[in-house]
Amino acid sequence: MRQEQIHVSRIPVTAAVPVRNEGANLARCLERLGRFAEVVVIDSGSTDDTVAVAESFGARVVTFKWDGGYPKKRNWFLLNAPPTQPWVFFVDADEFVDDRFCDAVADAVWQSECNGYWLNYTNHFLGRPLGHGVPQRKLALFRTGGALYERIEEQAWSPLDMEIHEHPIVDGKVGEIAAPIDHRDYKGIGKFIEKHRDYALWEAHRYQALQGNDAAWADFTERQTFKYRNLARWWYPWLYFIYTYIVKRGFLDGGAGLHYAFYKAWYFQTIRLMIREISPSP
């Protein structure tokens, strides 16, 4: 049993870590979550030492098995094995917080005017932090019982058993925490391509499901609306490349910035081709 145990903190937040075979990253993630009152690891049948690592840190471990439909992992947790704290923070095993971020969360959750918070991230690619390009942010901290991720009635569109591009729908005002989370998900180009292939397949199916479904657009952010209105257009991947690499100065990140912008353009082009492939013939 490790000596570094998760301890009761003054921050009334459940840190929820969805995982599958994340033994290599999980210890580093969990050792930084000790200031949160509860830590839960939501496991999808890992075959490595993920569960043993989680238990060694004193985290509550819950097991999730996806049936291909609704709900996926995060909503299932919120509905079936809910947080014990008044706030919940979803953090991936390859995301690492520091004291600056924890201090910001502690201040934020005591403020009553917001029911959720956008979080900011520092991405790494090819071993280098990306300081420019399109910034990553997620709405990953909100009041328990005050939000669920978008309900999407899919039938195993991809192997993804966790909400990736689905956004939480928060009842009330949403703020932002500026202190960034360190996001180091790079496991090699092969894994990067495999992951984005699965993302692209899911996005192509969602695009198709949105066609003619006006009600589904009601809770979209401006960014979501623009993306799904234009995702199948030929110019979208190249617009993204120009925006992230030139307008948002991704070129200042050197070779890593160029390659990252290129692969993201490839990703959006892959979605376009998959949309064409799965579209019903006229």
Per residue in 138-154, pLDDT tens?
A: 999 999 999 999 999 99
pLDDT for residue 271 is more than 90: yes
Nearest one of 24, 26, 99, 82 to 57, comparing CA atoms: 26
Distance of alpha carbon 280 from the chain centroid: 30
Residue 203 confidence (pLDDT): 97
SS3 call for 170: strand
Residue 282 confidence class, pLDDT cut points 50, 70, 90 = low
Residue 118 confidence (pLDDT): 97
pLDDT for residue 202 is more than 60: yes
pLDDT for residue 2 is more than 60: no
All domains of the chain, ordered by start, with CATH? 11-183 (3.90.550.10), 189-278 (no CATH)
Average pLDDT over residues 109-136: 94
pLDDT, mean over the chain: 93
What gap in Å lies between CA 230 and CA 83, rounded to an integer? 37
Alpha-carbon distances, residue 20 vs 46, 113, 121, 207, 254 (angstroms): 5, 35, 21, 27, 33
Backbone angles phi, psi at 123, to 5 degrees: -85, 150
pLDDT for residue 222 is more than 80: yes
Token pair for 77: 């947790």
**pTM score, two decimals?**
0.92
Peptide bond into 71 cis (omega under 30): yes
Token pair for 273: 């081709």
Residues in the chain: 282
Backbone angles phi, psi at 169, to 5 degrees: -100, 110
**224: exposed, middle or buried (Cβ count in 10 Å: 0-12, 13-18, 19+):** middle
What gap in Å lies between CA 153 and CA 210, rounded to an integer? 11
pLDDT for residue 9 is more than 60: no
DSSP bridge pairs for 129: 124
Residue 281 confidence class, pLDDT cut points 50, 70, 90 = low
Average pLDDT over residues 228-234: 96
